[in-house]
Every structure is written in structure tokens, then in C-alpha cells.
Structure 1
């Protein structure tokens, strides 16, 4: 009887061990499957090797959390310089409200309407609504001053969530399909905006309750300020204006994280933030070289706002 009990206990421990190992392998397989299906570099990778490396690295793992470093390493193996991993606690924080950078505005020299489009890095829809509303409010107030030109500052926009940025710049854009991405199969997927609704590849992605403001002076010259810090969604925002007749980019080459990320939630609440395509502009130009960035129309040597304004004024005088 004692031997049978001991054998039964041993069997239960053994089965539990197999179950645990299966659970861990299934979890890693789940994550690798997402990467293999959607990664922008999916056609350039040795997936058999990547799977073997990942499985070998989690053999001694006892919990799903212990697999996280292996998943991060797998993401690094994708070589896109943009994919990331978020633990469940971080994912939960993304949905919370936080004190995001607020848009700033001023009337420079009494004639240039200046407004910033700052970064915003969470999924909270109330924050998104507030972000967009602040930009609309400031833009409407500046429009009443009858400015000669607009200056939209993206120098400190190092990325985050593109949807609120895209909604915020709608009063200044001249057409709907101005920015998107191209997937590994070569399909171009554009964002568009209509009646507060953001569409991606023709499918509804988000609805903003903010009422779009109409600016009387939106057709006047618009200057988009960029810096080496301008990155990711900040670069998507900048490219939204590339090719628009009354717009010029001013500053320095952007950082060059010109790729699109999509979030995929795993079974334990962790999240893969996966690069799934490269940025394209309204003319279907693809920005696929990591680190190359977006080259402005007007280069600025310094970093101070006044140096940017000086270059803008030189340009405007030459156009008269």
C-alpha cells in the first residue's frame, strides 16, 4: 500500500511536471506564432533556428514569467529595432490615466501661430479625448488671431500612440489618406479620418467624441518642426504632412523608427508590441531604412526655437 501511494504521488508529480512544461512551451509557441505571422521581417528570418533557440532557453523555466527574457530575446532576433515586450503590470498601467505632456501654444512675433503636438504613451481613451481637445482648443484660439503662417512643433515628440496625434492634426491636413504602412506582403494600409472616426485599412479603429474644428487659416503656410528626437508616432505625424503643398518640414533628420507597431496580448496578460510594417506617405514612398529618418525641406543647424523661426522667416521672404 505504501509503495502504491508513493508510486501514485510520483505519477502525480510527474504528470504535473509534464503539464507545467507543456503550458510553458504552449505559451512560447503562442508568442512565436504571432511573431512569425506578423513581423515586418518575417520573410528574412530562420524561423526553425529561432524556435529551437527559444525552446532551449525555456527548458528550465517553472513559470510563464520566467520565459519573458527568452521572448524579449526572440523579439531582438527580429532585427527591426522597434518591437518590444510589456509585462502584465505594465499593460495594466497603459490603460490608466496619467499626466501626459500637454500641447503648448503661442503667437510668435504677433504673426506665427505656434502649437506643439507632444507624445502620449497610454491607451486610456479619456486621456486621448483630452489630448485632442486641448489641441483643437488652442488651434481655434490661434486661428482667430489671423496668423500669417502656422508652426507645428514635433521636436519633442518621441512617439507613443498615433491615433490621438492623428486626430489632433486633422484641422491642418488637406486630404484623408496621407499616412500608412506597408506590410511584409507589400500591401499598403492607410489611416483615414471621418466624423471623429479613425479608420485603418478601411476598418474602424477608434471613435473620438471631439468635434473637429475648422480653421480659416489652414491653407496658409505650415511649417513642421522636427529634430533627432522626433521618433516613431512622431515621425508618422510628420509624414502625414509630406507632399502637402502648403507645408514644409523644418529642422533635422528624425530618429528613423519609421515602422508601425501593433499590440498583441498574450494569454497571461503580457503584450508583444510587434513591428508589422514600414511607414508610407501619401505618395506611397516607403521609409524602410532604420535610422535614416525623414529629411526636412529646410535644415536648421541649431536647436533653439528662434533658430527655427529665423529659417522660416528667411524662407518666407524668399517666396515673396
Structure 2
């Protein structure tokens, strides 16, 4: 009898709880959004508790307009700072504080939007790749071709190693960046990909017979290298606390490559794949659905920790005074 009585109490509680909503559309919105979270998110721990807390906070709300800002707290509870609720043209999400900051690099991110390249010390190639806003995949060719053109402008038989600077790469579309750097990454290998919440493969990054495929999509560049890169040429990747999302994916694509090191600061911790799901005609929800893995199947649930941590000391105007560049050059000389 006690079991039946307990079940009866639970049912009565649930029915009465649902009746406390001032506006049923608010509860319906919550239920639909949380069904999507449960089905697709990699962050589902304590989901029932998070949902019940949102119920409590929104029971007396008059409309979904008032509910939407509460999703900032939902995404914080989910520990998902890569996703967010899209509602009537606005985004409601959680921005996790960076582990460090740099006013110098922050200003550079605002003003520097193009690829930069040069030769350092007459024998080392340097290329700096910022983030992009190609979320509609309309600039894949132009971005990748620009990267390759800069490599061509620097590359020669005298180049003994490369520095790929991702300190200003705050994200965007990773496809053209990886395509532009394809010849550095390798050939005939799977160099990364995604795993879902069940640790099952949900996407592969691969290069076979000089063809790059990302999640099964073949990518081709119109511009080609004038001079081939030396096999296993040493590469140093530079990161900062602002290296995020596509910038982090790019760094991960090099991890495990021979004669390759990451120098700089721990990255921004946006190492998840994000997908969008429709709630209704005016709302959708972006969720972190997959974790990134490198070529050795290591999963990245947090930020990238450099092989050699160098905090601060950035000087993009005079690279020979830049602390991360100084360390990179030291490593390149040791490798060669």
C-alpha cells in the first residue's frame, strides 16, 4: 500500500505543479527545449534538477519573453558556454570567464582581421591566422586560398621550420583554416574528429591521397602550393587565452604530429561541436553535442594545455621581442 500511496502522491504533485503556471505556453516552451537538451546535449547531468529549478523561477511569468533571459542560468548549470538560446534575434547563453586575459591581444583581435606572414631569422616561416565569421560557409574558398597564398609568399628551400600563430583566432568556420593548412597536417591519416556523449564517433577529419574530408565532406582549394613543404617540417603552434572554437580545433589537428609543439597559454575551452535545433518559428537552441578528439583519439573536454606555457609577453609589432616567438625559435633550433 505504501508504494501505491507514494506513486499517487507523486502523480498528484506533478499535476498540481503543472497547474501553478500562470501561462501554459511558458511550461510548453521549457518542456520542448529540455527535450532537445536531453536528446542531443553532452551536458545532461542533473538535468531534472535544472528543469525543476527553471519551473520554479518561471511559474508566475506571463510570457516566453520573460522566460528567455533565464536560459543564461540554464546554460551555466549545464556547463555549456558554447551553446545558447536563440529567441527573437537575441542570444541567451553563459560566457565562462577566461582563465586569463590580455588587454593587448584583446585590442589586436578588434583590429586585425587578415592573415599575416613573414620570414623570421631568414629561415623560419611565420603565419598568423585570425578568426573568421564564415558561419554560412560562403568564404571557404577565399579564406583557404588566402592562407595558402601567404604560405607561398614565405615558403622556399631555405625555410627550416614554421610558426603558426593562432593567438588571435577566436573561432568561426574551421573548414577553410584546416584546408589552408592541409599540407602541414599530413597525408593518409585521420587527424581528428568528434565523439558524442556516448563516446561514439560522430565525425572524422581525414586526409587521403591529398584529399581532405571533414565529416565526410570533401574540401578542395583553388590555390595550390608553389613549392612543396618539406616532409615532417617542424611546426610550432602559438596559442593564447583567446584561441577558441575553430582556433582550438586547428591546434588539436596538429597534436600528435611529429616534431610539433604548442607554445603559449591555455586556450579558451570551446572544444565542443555545436548544433542548432528548432523550438518554434521564433526560437531555437544551440547545444554542445560532441567533444573533439585528436589523431590519437584523446578527447578534449576542457581547454588545450600547451606543451610549453608562456603567459603574456606578446609583441606582434616586433616579433623578436615576443616571448612566445622567442620560445618557438629556441625549439625550432633545437629540433633542427
TM over 0.5: same fold?
Answer: yes
**What is the CA RMSD across the aligned residues, in angstroms?**
3.0
CA drift of 1:124 comes to 2.7
- TM-score w.r.t. length of structure 1: 0.76
Deviation at residue 108 of structure 1 after TM alignment: 1.9
Seen in structure 2, the aligned counterparts of structure 1 residues 152 and 229 have a Cα distance that, compared at 3 Å, is same
Which structure 1 residue ranges, 5 or more long, are not aligned? 1-19, 92-98
CA distance in 2, matches of 1:137, 1:238: 20
Secondary structure of 2:280's partner? Answer: coil
- Residues 206 and 212 in structure 2, CA contact (< 8 A), matched pair in contact too: yes
Whether the 8 Å contact between 2:191 and 2:253 is mirrored in structure 1 is yes
Counterpart selection for 2:150 from 128, 132, 138: 138
Give the 5 Å matches for 1:62-141: 62-89=62-89, 101-141=113-153
- Aligned-residue offset at 1:60: 4.2
293, 308, 312: which one aligns with 2:324: 308
CA–CA separation in structure 2 for the residues paired with 1:31 and 1:146: 57
Structure 1 position 171 matched with structure 2 position 183: yes
**Corresponding residue for residue 230 of structure 1:** 243
Q: 1:247 aligns with which of 240, 251, 260?
A: 260
Q: Structure 2: how far apart are the matches of 1:122 and 1:30?
A: 30
Please name the residue that 2:6 is paired with. none
- 1:34-66 per-residue CA deviation (whole Å, 9 max, x = no partner) reads 111122122x2242x333333343444444433
**For the Cα contact (< 8 Å) 2:192–2:206, is it kept in 1?**
no
CA offset at residue 80 of structure 1? 3.4
Distance of 1:58 and 1:271 partners within structure 2 = 19
* Residue 183 in structure 1 maps to residue 196 in structure 2: yes
Tell me the residue number matched to 1:55.
Answer: 55
Aligned to 1:160, the other structure's residue is in SS state coil
Compute the displacement of 1:121 (Å): 3.4
**2:293 counterpart SS class:** strand
Does residue 1:296 correspond to 2:306, yes or no?
yes
Secondary structure of the residue aligned to 2:139 is: helix
How far apart are 1:228 and its partner, in Å? 2.2
Are the structure 2 counterparts of residues 272 and 308 from structure 1 closer, same or farther at C-alpha, using a change threshold of 3 Å?
same
Distance apart, 1:277 and its partner CA: 2.8
State whether structure 2 residue 222 is matched by structure 1 residue 211. Answer: yes
The whole-number CA distance in structure 1 between the counterparts of 2:121 and 2:298 is 36
1:178 deviates by 1.5
Measure the CA separation in 2 of the matches of 1:209 and 1:145. 25
Q: How far 1:182 sits from its partner (Å)?
A: 2.4
C-alpha displacement at 1:87, in angstroms? 3.5
